[in-house]
Amino acid sequence: MADWLAALDRRAELRAKAGLTRTLRPRVAGDAVVDLAGNDYLGLATHPEVTAAAARALSAYGLGATGSRLVRGSTDVHHALEDALADWLGADRALVFSSGYLANLAAVRGLVRPRTLLVSDAHNHASLIDGCRISGAETVVTPHADVAAVAAALAAAPGRPAVVVTESVFSVDGDLAPLAELHAVARRHGALLLVDDAHALGVTGPAGAGGVAAAGLAGEPDVVITATLSKALGGAGGVVAGPAEFVRHLVETGRTFIFDTAPPPAVAAGVLAAVRLARAGDALRAELADRAALAVRRLGAAGLAVSAPDAAVVSVTAPGPEAATAWAADCRDRGVAVGCFRPPSTPDSRSRLRLTISAGVARQDFERALDVIVECAP
């Protein structure tokens, strides 16, 4: 075997020994698995109005966008989606990207000026971390949800431009960032606040407008929001929302916007339909909150260590990476898909099962899935 392939094999063996093997498993359409692993929080990925809107755009525009947004890829559907997202989020303008990952890379980099200090929460998603890295700016990583540490980091850099970077609902444990406090501290130091609302959009806030809106910060001139369109909106793509001047800056300089083919118009049309449904989805959000509370009660009563969920993500601690893998596999064998998070995908050394609650799953299936998780616990 070629040297480089043998070296890769050795690294794979080390990962296997540490219980960190990752494998792909094809999902077939309409399988009978109870899904507590996906991010289709509101069940909109398969909603008939969403798929019909996508199908209409598919036949009108064809499969792909045929070019980047600045060339031929910017359809009227993309613009309508951006207007709808800006209106929902209470932002001046919104800009759609082909993924949340790319939106985060562009947003962080776009906020950086010479001498900018980035202050990034230790539990931030990989796309925010990579955004900080790619921006080349000095980055201080502060302990999770620690407002005092953020204040100290800002105070230690007087006179420098700074950006506080956080998620609203953290993807691993589902807890909520102290956004109002972070904003107050940032404003006191003349810093900006960048919030990734990926797991909050559609799930929290007035009419599902997300964590920034829930904290009363929508439309603030020193706040920029990013989100993915792939979770509660059931589609694909990402968005950056904020002041018009910042969006213009990204259109003209954002590398992951400029040098990337636009998201397919059919996906944009489906997401546009999903935005309308999500805004009207208070009953679905109430059901999510109810199920999250039920999960905590049932799993807690069985002696499992469960996170206190602020949205629709619940995490359950596993004794270690191998135990987490075996637990998730046993659940899968019994027809329940759960997320399995192990280092390095966890921000600390804890392995966990991650349960993402979807209103698209029948209530009785959800309750049965909780029993399965308890019965398979290590």
Q: Which residues are catalytic?
A: 39, 125, 167, 171, 196, 199, 231
Count residues binding ligand PLP (CB under 6 A): 14
Stretch that binds ligand PLP, among 22-30, 87-95, 195-203, 289-297 (CB under 6 A): 195-203
DSSP one-letter string for 149-172: HHHHHHHTSTTS-EEEEEESB-TT
Measuring CA to CA, how many Å separate 351 from each of 98, 251, 320, 345?
Answer: 30, 39, 5, 9
Whichever of 127 and 315 has its CB closer to ligand PLP, that residue is 127
Whichever of 356 and 377 has its CB closer to ligand PLP, that residue is 356
b/e for 79-104, b at 16 or more Cβ within 10 A?
eebbebbbebbbbebbbbbbbbbbbb
DSSP 264: P
Task: Give me the residue label for tokens 């004794």.
Answer: 319
Whichever of 171 and 346 has its CB closer to ligand PLP, that residue is 171
Positions 34 through 73 that interact with ligand PLP (CB under 6 A)? none
Count CA within 13 A, CB hemisphere, residue 192: 24
Annotate 313-325 with three-state secondary structure.
EEEEEECCHHHHH
Q: How far is the CB of 171 from ligand PLP (least distance, A)?
A: 4
Q: How far is the CB of 211 from ligand PLP (least distance, A)?
A: 11
Collapsing DSSP to helix, strand or coil, 35 comes out as strand
Is 168 near ligand PLP (CB under 6 A)? Answer: no
Quickly list H helices, the chain.
Answer: 3-17, 48-61, 76-89, 100-111, 126-135, 147-155, 179-188, 211-214, 244-253, 255-258, 265-279, 282-301, 321-333, 363-375
Is 230 near ligand PLP (CB under 6 A)? Answer: yes
Pick from 196, 220, 260, 287 the residue near ligand PLP by CB under 6 A: 196
Is 208 near ligand PLP (CB under 6 A)? Answer: no
Q: Which amino acid is at 357?
A: I
Residue nearest to ligand PLP (CB): 100
Q: How far is the CB of 91 from ligand PLP (least distance, A)?
A: 17
Is 135 near ligand PLP (CB under 6 A)? Answer: no
Is 204 near ligand PLP (CB under 6 A)? Answer: no
Whichever of 125 and 352 has its CB closer to ligand PLP, that residue is 125
Q: How far is the CB of 227 from ligand PLP (least distance, A)?
A: 8
Whichever of 100 and 202 has its CB closer to ligand PLP, that residue is 100
Whichever of 112 and 198 has its CB closer to ligand PLP, that residue is 198
Positions 263 through 302 that interact with ligand PLP (CB under 6 A)? none
Closest CA to 68 of 41, 103, 97: 97
Contacts (Cβ under 8 Å, ≥6 apart) of 112: 118, 135, 136, 137, 163
Residues paired with residue 340 on neighbouring β-strands, in sequence order: 353
b/e for 329-367, b at 16 or more Cβ within 10 A?
ebbbebebbbbbbbeebbbeebbbbbbbbbbbbeeeebe
Please give the span between the terminal C-alpha atoms of the chain, in angstroms, as a whole number: 39
What are 195's two structure tokens? 């919030």
Stretch that binds ligand PLP, among 16-24, 141-149, 196-204, 337-345 (CB under 6 A): 196-204
Is 167 near ligand PLP (CB under 6 A)? Answer: yes
Print the binding letters for residues 95-134 with ligand PLP: x by CB under 6 A, - otherwise: ----xxx--x--------------------x-x-------
Q: How far is the CB of 103 from ligand PLP (least distance, A)?
A: 7
Separation of alpha carbons 200 and 23, rounded Å: 28
Is 257 near ligand PLP (CB under 6 A)? Answer: no
Stretch that binds ligand PLP, among 150-158, 194-202, 298-306, 342-350 (CB under 6 A): 194-202
Stretch that binds ligand PLP, among 86-94, 191-199, 206-214, 320-328 (CB under 6 A): 191-199
344 preceded by cis ω (within 30°)? yes
Instruction: Provide the binding-site residues for ligand PLP, judged by CB under 6 A.
Output: 99-101, 104, 125, 127, 167, 171, 196, 198-199, 228, 230, 238
